[in-house]
Structure 1
Amino acid sequence: MTRPRPLVPRPDQADTVRTVGEFGVIARVLARAGSARLAEVGPGDDAAVVATPDGRVVATTDVLVEGRHFRRDWSSAEDVGHKAAAANLADVAAMGGTTTALLVGLACPADTPTSWLEGVATGLADECAPLGAAVVGGDTVAAAPGSEAVVLSVTALGDLGGRRPVLRSGARPGDVVALAGRLGWSACGLAVLRRGFSSPLAVVAAHRRPSPPYAAGPAAAEAGATAMCDVSDGLLADTGHIATASGVVLELDRAALVAACLVPDGPLQQVGAALGTDPLAWVLTGGEDHAFVATFPAGTPLPQGWTAIGAVRAAGTAPGVLVDGEAAEAVAAALGAGGTGHAHFG
């Protein structure tokens, strides 16, 4: 493993938010925003106007705080933009929808390089472009006095395309539990960066820029998925949300998860061996890969990209998640994880 190259931009007093000013920053950022296919009125007015062909709007918000969700010495500005967009695009897809537009709120110190903000805008635009979406508005404010942290608040709007929204509460006994996307890569990359290294590049890149399979969400809705969730906090934690909302038990199959997520001699095993960590811990409890987990009626052909990893059982005494019959909390503890997934304020 190799040491990371610092990515913090060098200060240039002629290129800071303080020097360029609010409207100068907005103009430079919007020049990189791209265009949203369904935007009837874009940036520049008091509000944007976005068409809603379905007649319903999917809406979600995520907040990224520097030092908690990203570090400028670990990630480029473009990385941060990609990551901020992905967290929201994945939430829309997990409802069975497709993102149509983003709104971005920014709080930053006055000495933030404008070029860094342009990089964030480029990352946002590049992540949205394949879906026909773009940033259509937002707000910029100065960070609180004494604060050096950048805060990004991103709101995504989406369209269901005539499909019913897929909720967390629809799983039923007998359903199949399935996964689309990869798990454990972002958490593995974070473990590498925390130890001062930057390789294997594949897992570090996965932490910097998630790669959610956005099309898998609408495809699952079309196929009749009964429940679905974006895996942002960890598989055990997020399947726990489905179990609680649906009043059922989700029993995951360890062998199926290993087969789906751990390529023999892959980067997770390599890093796990180097750090003395069981890579299954990252698969089960690591967040921010933004894979999707869903339940489907038994016998339903799974859409392309989806893999069966378990089954839904009746809750009995209480809803929850099991791995080969063992409670999620016990499995996480045995793997040395600090819990079943990320806990805000934990």
Structure 2
Amino acid sequence: MIDRAVAGRVQPASTLLGPGDDAAVVRAADGRVVASTDMLVQGRHFRLDWSSPEQVGRKAVAQNGADIVSMGAWPTSFLVALGCPADTPVSVTDALTDGIWSEVAEFGAGVIGGDMVQSEQVVISITVLGDLGGHEPVLRSGARAGDQVAVAGRLGWSAAGLAALLAGSADFPELVGAHQVPTPPYRCGPAAARAGATAMTDISDGLVADLGHLSVASGVGVDLDANLLEPDAQLRSAATALGADAREWVFTGGEDHALAATFPAGAALPEGWRRIGVVRAGDGVHVDGRSWAGAGGWQSFS
């Protein structure tokens, strides 16, 4: 299975020693390595009756890549650990592998190794390494009162797609596709770093939840402008059909893996970014001056 996963695959120049030994060796030209890891568990994070194995593989890579670019870095190497039942068809593991390599290719990166074990359901754990390219990492803790708050990427699409799947609706294939395979605005992360972003995070749990993490880390408050976060036509149409609140999807829906960042007041935003609010003295996330009521997004243990 490992041979099938790596045969004929191309490694980037940063991979000095790829799969086949006890560990890989990679080049770290910057002298620093940015690292992150995420896990997907069948039945909790994905369903194979809703998503193809290839889509699951792409999604697993995308959520890890978004973490690296949200630091202002660029992904270079991925380590993949796969658990699956003994009777899993090889066609499933082949498709997972194809999906993983397909998304890794978006970065010009490589899959440099990993692990494989038997488990009761399919589990994918990916560790990604990234390169800062000589720049300082953009942390959650750098936002300052007066900064502007901006986002890059789509908000609420994955949550809307999940709602359509739960309802058994076939009317919103684009939204369902956004849930099956997120499309993070990868290049917007390093672009924000070059443009002087003071803080940044990827939106994996929900806009309010993840800006809440940034707010706590920076010791500031965040005030969002609801007029700048109006749901688009597709979200409004789906919400009407499904009896849901499109605004809730935008503010609390995760897994689009959009990026949120703060920039100095008056600074020009790089391409792909749009202003949605302002950083103020205080704490917490507010919308039009009012504290957000209810959950701000995904809760892992609820």
TM-score, structure 1 length as denominator? 0.86
Q: Give CA-to-partner distance per residue, 1:236-258, whole Å, 9 cap, x none.
A: 00000000000000000000111
Bigger CA drift: 29-38 or 192-201?
29-38
1:276 Cα deviation after fit: 1.6
Partner of 2:48: 72
In 2, distance between residues paired with 1:306 and 1:163?
20
1:64 Cα deviation after fit: 0.3
Superposed, 1:63-142 pairs within 5 Å as: 63-142=39-118
Partner of 1:312: 279
1:30 Cα deviation after fit: 1.5
State yes or no: 1:303 paired with 2:267: no
Q: Give CA-to-partner distance per residue, 1:111-166, whole Å, 9 cap, x none.
A: 011111111111111111121112110000111xxx2x111110000000111100
In 1, distance between residues paired with 2:165 and 2:273?
30
Bigger CA drift: 26-35 or 186-195?
26-35
What is the aligned-residue RMSD (CA, Å)?
A: 1.0
SS of aligned partner of 2:256: coil
Residue pair 1:91, 1:230 contacting (<8 A) in 2 also: yes
State yes or no: 1:291 paired with 2:291: no
Amino acid of the residue matched to residue 208 of structure 1?
Q
Partner of 2:209: 237
SS of aligned partner of 1:43: coil
Amino acid of the residue matched to residue 12 of structure 2?
A
Max radius of gyration: which structure? 1
Any gaps of 5 or more consecutive residues in structure 2? none
Q: Which runs of structure 1 show a deviation greater than 4 angstroms over 4 or more consecutive aligned residues?
A: none
In 2, distance between residues paired with 1:184 and 1:32?
38
- Distance change >3 Å, CA 205–CA 32, structure 1 → 2: farther
SS of aligned partner of 2:277: strand
State which of 188, 208, 224 in structure 2 corresponds to 1:216.
188
SS of aligned partner of 1:194: helix
Amino acid of the residue matched to residue 286 of structure 2?
L
Percent of pairs identical after alignment?
56
Amino acid of the residue matched to residue 341 of structure 1?
G
In 2, distance between residues paired with 1:55 and 1:295?
27
1:340 Cα deviation after fit: 1.0
1:35 Cα deviation after fit: 2.2
State which of 181, 206, 215 in structure 1 corresponds to 2:153.
181
Partner of 1:30: 6
Residue pair 2:167, 2:242 contacting (<8 A) in 1 also: no
Q: Give CA-to-partner distance per residue, 1:170-223, whole Å, 9 cap, x none.
A: 000000000000010000000000112233110000000000000000000001
Amino acid of the residue matched to residue 288 of structure 2?
D
- Distance change >3 Å, CA 312–CA 176, structure 1 → 2: same
Alignment size in residue pairs: 302
Partner of 2:139: 167
SS of aligned partner of 1:289: coil
Amino acid of the residue matched to residue 223 of structure 1?
A
In 1, distance between residues paired with 2:7 and 2:258?
31
Partner of 1:322: 286
SS of aligned partner of 1:60: strand
- Distance change >3 Å, CA 98–CA 188, structure 1 → 2: same
Residue pair 1:107, 1:140 contacting (<8 A) in 2 also: yes
State yes or no: 1:343 paired with 2:299: yes
In 2, distance between residues paired with 1:275 and 1:115?
35
SS of aligned partner of 1:233: coil
In 2, distance between residues paired with 1:188 and 1:33?
35
Residue pair 2:182, 2:257 contacting (<8 A) in 1 also: yes
1:29 Cα deviation after fit: 1.4
1:96 Cα deviation after fit: 0.3
1:33 Cα deviation after fit: 4.7
Amino acid of the residue matched to residue 208 of structure 2?
L
SS of aligned partner of 2:162: helix
SS of aligned partner of 1:87: helix
SS of aligned partner of 2:12: coil
TM-score, structure 2 length as denominator? 0.98
In 2, distance between residues paired with 1:214 and 1:228?
13
